[in-house]
Amino acid sequence: MPEHRAAASHSKSIAPRDPRLHSQIEALLTGRHSDPFGLLGPHAVDGGWAVRFFVPWAEKARISLQSPASENTTPTSDGIVEAAKLRPEGFFEAILASGQTTAPAPTMYKIQGRTHYGESFEVYDPYAFPCVLTEFDLYLMGEGRHYDTYQKLGAHLLTLEGVRGVHFAVWAPSAQRVSVVGDFNRWDGRVHPMRARGSSGIWEIFLPELAEGAIYKFEIIGPAGNMLPLKADPYAFRSELRPNTGSIVANLENHRWNDADWLSQRSGKNWFQSPVSIYEVHLGSWRRVPEDHNRWLTYRELGDQLIPYVKELGYTHIELLPIMEHPYDGSWGYQTLGYFAATSRFGTPAEFMEFVDRCHQAGIAVILDWTPAHFPRDAHGLAQFDGSHLYEHADPRQGAHPDWGTLVYNYGRNEVQNYLISNALFWLDKYHIDGLRVDAVASMLYLDYSRKPGEWVPNQFGGRENLPAIEFLKRMNEVAHGKFSGILTIAEESTAWPAVSRPTYLGGLGFSFKWNMGWMNDTLKYFSHDPIHRKYEHNKITFSMLYAFTENFVLPFSHDEVVHGKNSLLHKMPGDLWQQFANLRLLYSYHYAHPGKKLLFMGQEFAQRHEWGEARSLDWHLLQWDSHRGVQTLIRDLNHLYASEPALHQVEFDWHGFEWIDANDADNSVLSFIRRGKKSEDLILVVLNATPVVREGYRLGVPQPGYYREILNTDAAHYGGSNVGNAGGQDASEQPAQSRSHSLVLTLPPLAAVFLKWKPKS
C-alpha cells in the first residue's frame, strides 16, 4: 500500500465539509441511522478514501494501515494516518489521500487511539468487513426452507478476511435500527449498529477479535421509532443464569464426541419393535446437594450419578423436562425463552454434550421435551421482538394462550416455521439428541383450545383446526426423520385427533409415538377406587383396548400426575399403607403388561410419598425402608423383563400381540390376557387381581398345553408382598375353560399381578 499523507491531528472537533454528511452523523450519534455501513468504514472521496468510525470513549484516534495476512503470517503495519475528530461525541474521519481514484478501498486497518482516561486501545474496524450471509441464505430463510438457520443466525465464531471474530445476525424486519451491545462496546447501541440486508429483515455485523464468552444483547429501535427493551438473541447458544438475561457467545465445536457406534446403531433401529422404557427427569430436583446450600447437581455430576442409576434400573431412555433456557424455575422449562441454549443452571453447553455422550456410551437414549406451542412474554424474549408482532399473532384471539398467560407462535409465517424447525434439528444435530417429545400438541391443533365462543378466530373454511400449525408439525416431522434416521418424535396430544403417529403420506401428523392420555386417566381413576367398588368401574380398565392400536402409544405416568394437589402415585392408591404399596405394584405391572411403550416420572420408581416439587430433591431417604426398596426392585425387574421378553415389547401396536382371556370378570376384579411376540413360542400370560382377597382355585383358560412358569409375581416377599403364589408355575390341564381347550388352576395373590411364560411340552 502506498505512503499516505497523514491528516492533521485535532484535539477539538471540526465540522464536516458536506452538509449531507452532517445529517448522517447526527442520525448515527442519536442512534437513528438505519444504514451504518453507508456512513462508517471506508468510502470513496475525491482523490482517495475517507475512513469514518465512531468510538465515543476516544479522545484521539488514528488508523494503522496493514498488509493482509497470508497463510503463515499476521497482518503487518503499513502506515499511520491521523484521524480528525468531527464531533466531540467521538466521531472520527481519516482521509487517505492516495491521489488515485481507482485505488482499492482499504480493508486491513486498525483503529488506534487514547481514551479520555489516557488508556490506549487498538481494534479492527467492523465496518471494513464484508457481508457473511449470501443472497441464497436470505432467499431460503424467506421461503421458510433454510432448516440449518442455526448455522447462520445468532452469534458465530469465524475467521473473516484472516481475522478471528464473531458474526452476529438477527431477524427483525420491522426494526428501524438494530445494534449488538455488550461489555465490549459499553452497552452503547450507537457503536455497533448492524447492516440491514434489504427486504429479508435480516441484520448482520462481524465484530473482529471478539471471543467466546462475550455477553451480548440486541438493541432495537422499533417501527414507531421507540427504543425497545434489550433483547436476548433468539438463536443464542448460551445464556446467563437467571435473573441475568444476557446471551453469551459460545463455541459448540469444543466437545469431541465418542458416540459414533451408538449413532450408527440408532440409524438402523426399529423402535416400534424394541423395548422403550422412559425415565422422565427434571434435572433440578432429581437429586440435590443439601450440604452445599441445597444446590443443583451439575451436568457432570448428573453424568456420574443419574446415568448409572438409570442403567441399573434397566431404562432404555431418559426424557428430560425442557433444558432449554427459561427465566422462571417454576415453569419447569415449559416456558422456554432461549430455544437454542442449554440452561446454564447445570453447566456449559460442552458439559451437557458430555452428559448426552455418556448416556449414549451407556446405551441410553436421550429425549428432550420441546415446547413449540407457546413462549413467555418476558421483555427480553421473543414477544414483540422488533416492535411488531413478529413471532406471535397480533390478534390475542390467535396470539395469546389463555391457560398459561403466554404467547402463541404465528405458524403461518414462513420465518417462524423456519425458526422452530431449525430449532428441532439443532438439538438433533449439535447435541446428538435421540428424540423430541412435543409438549401441548392439542393446543396447537385447535384454534378454540381453552377458548369460549367468540374468543377464537375460525380458519379460512370456518373450522376450528389450526391449519398452519398442522402443516408445521407435518413438515417438522418429515424433515427431522429425513435428516436423522432412528430418532423419535413423540406427541403429548390429549384429544381424539386421528393419525397423530401415522406417516404424513398416509394423512397423519408424522410423529413416531403419541402419549396415551386416555389410558392414563382411566387407569388412575380405576386404581383410585377402593377395591370393593372396582367391579363397578371395570370398564375403565378394559376400555383402552378398544383404541389401543389406533396409534403408536406411549403409556405415561408423567410429572403432570404428581403435582398441583394430585398427590404422588403411592398416595393415589386407596387403603392402608400395605394396600397402597400393593396397589402401586399392581399398577406398575399393568403398565408394563399393557401394549404400548412405557414412561414413568422420577421418584415414582421408589414410591415417592410427597408430591413432586421443583425446588427440592426427591425423597431418597425413603429407600431405607423395605417397602420402598421393594417397589424400586420391582421396577428394575419389570424393565429387565420387558426388555428380555419379546412378547412384552415386540408387537405393541396391533392385535397380533394381544389377546383377551377374560375381560369380563368384573365381580372378582380380575383381568387376564395374553401377550405375544412375533414368534409363536413367545407367549406370556398376565393375570391381575385388583382386590385384597387371595383367590385360590381360580381356573383360567390357556391357548395350548405346556408348562406355564411364573416369571413375575408382584406379591413376592422381596417386593414387599405376602409371598402368595403358584410354586413357580404349573402344567396346563386338558380341562377346557373360557372357550379354550386347556386351563390352569391358579392362586391369585392379593392386589397383585402374576406373569406366566409358556413353555411347550418337550
Query: Tens digit of pLDDT for each residue in 479-517?
Result: 999 999 999 999 999 999 999 999 999 999 999 999 999
Q: Given pLDDT bands bounded at 50, 70 and 90, which one contains residue 13?
A: low
pLDDT of 633 over the 90 cut: yes
Q: Are residues 202 and 153 in the same domain?
A: yes
What is d(CA 712, CA 590) in angstroms, rounded to the nearest whole number?
Answer: 12
Q: Are residues 673 and 756 in the same domain?
A: yes
281 part of a folded domain: yes
Q: Are residues 119 and 193 in the same domain?
A: no
Q: Does 68 or 676 have the greater pLDDT score?
A: 676
Tell me, what's the pLDDT at 40?
Answer: 95
Instruction: Give the position of cell 389450526.
Output: 466
pLDDT of 424 over the 60 cut: yes
Instruction: Give the position of cell 390467535.
Output: 398
325 is catalytic: no
> Residue 609 in 3-state DSSP?
coil
Q: Which grid cell sits at 483? A: 435428516
Tell me, what's the pLDDT at 73?
Answer: 43
532 part of a folded domain: no
Mean pLDDT over residues 626-650, rounded?
98
Helix, strand, coil percentages in the chain from 3-state DSSP, rounded to 5: 30, 25, 45
Tell me, what's the pLDDT at 103?
Answer: 64
The active-site residue out of 492, 493, 551, 605 is: 492
Domain boundary among 515, 539, 572: 515
Q: Are residues 372 and 223 in the same domain?
A: no
130 part of a folded domain: no
Q: Are residues 445 and 466 in the same domain?
A: yes
Q: Are residues 154 and 268 in the same domain?
A: no
523 part of a folded domain: no
Q: Are residues 302 and 349 in the same domain?
A: yes
Q: Given pLDDT bands bounded at 50, 70 and 90, which one contains residue 77?
A: low
Mean pLDDT over residues 597-626, rounded?
97
Q: pLDDT, tens digit, for every residue of 158-195?
A: 999 999 999 999 999 999 999 999 999 999 999 999 99
For residue 695, what are the contacts with CB-CB under 8 A and spacing of at least 6?
Answer: 668, 670, 689, 746, 747, 748
pLDDT of 368 over the 70 cut: yes
> Residue 138 in 3-state DSSP?
helix
Structural domain for 353, as ranges: 260-515
pLDDT of 5 over the 50 cut: no
722 part of a folded domain: yes
Q: Given pLDDT bands bounded at 50, 70 and 90, which one contains residue 21?
A: confident
Q: Are residues 493 and 354 in the same domain?
A: yes
563 part of a folded domain: no
Beta-strand pair 247-248/683-689: unpaired
Give CA torsion, residues 598, 604, 610, 614, to 10 deg.
-70
What is d(CA 415, CA 301) in angstroms, rounded to the nearest whole number?
Answer: 38
- Give the DSSP H or E segment for 350: helix 349-361
Q: Given pLDDT bands bounded at 50, 70 and 90, which one contains residue 47?
A: confident
Tell me, what's the pLDDT at 48?
Answer: 84
Nearest to 604 by CA among 580, 631, 582: 631
Any idea what the CATH number is for the domain that residue 288 is in?
A: 3.20.20.80
Q: Are residues 239 and 269 in the same domain?
A: no
Q: Are residues 219 and 344 in the same domain?
A: no
> Residue 363 in 3-state DSSP?
coil
Instruction: Give the position of cell 380380575.
Output: 670
Tell me, what's the pLDDT at 3?
Answer: 39
The active-site residue out of 204, 439, 637, 715 is: 439
| Structural domains in the chain (count) | 4
Nearest to 282 by CA among 562, 487, 519: 562
Mean pLDDT over residues 441-446, rounded?
96
In this structure, are residues 543 and 522 in contact, taking their beta carbons and an 8 Å threshold?
yes
Any idea what the CATH number is for the domain that residue 70 is in?
A: 2.60.40
pLDDT of 467 over the 50 cut: yes
Q: Are residues 402 and 488 in the same domain?
A: yes
Q: Given pLDDT bands bounded at 50, 70 and 90, which one contains residue 711?
A: very high
284 part of a folded domain: yes
18 is catalytic: no
Q: Are residues 193 and 289 in the same domain?
A: no
Domain boundary among 125, 145, 180: 125
Q: What is the gyration radius of the CA atoms in the chain, in angstroms?
A: 32
Domain boundary among 460, 489, 515: 515
Tell me, what's the pLDDT at 102?
Answer: 52
pLDDT of 10 over the 50 cut: no
Tell me, what's the pLDDT at 99?
Answer: 52
543 part of a folded domain: no
Tell me, what's the pLDDT at 144?
Answer: 84
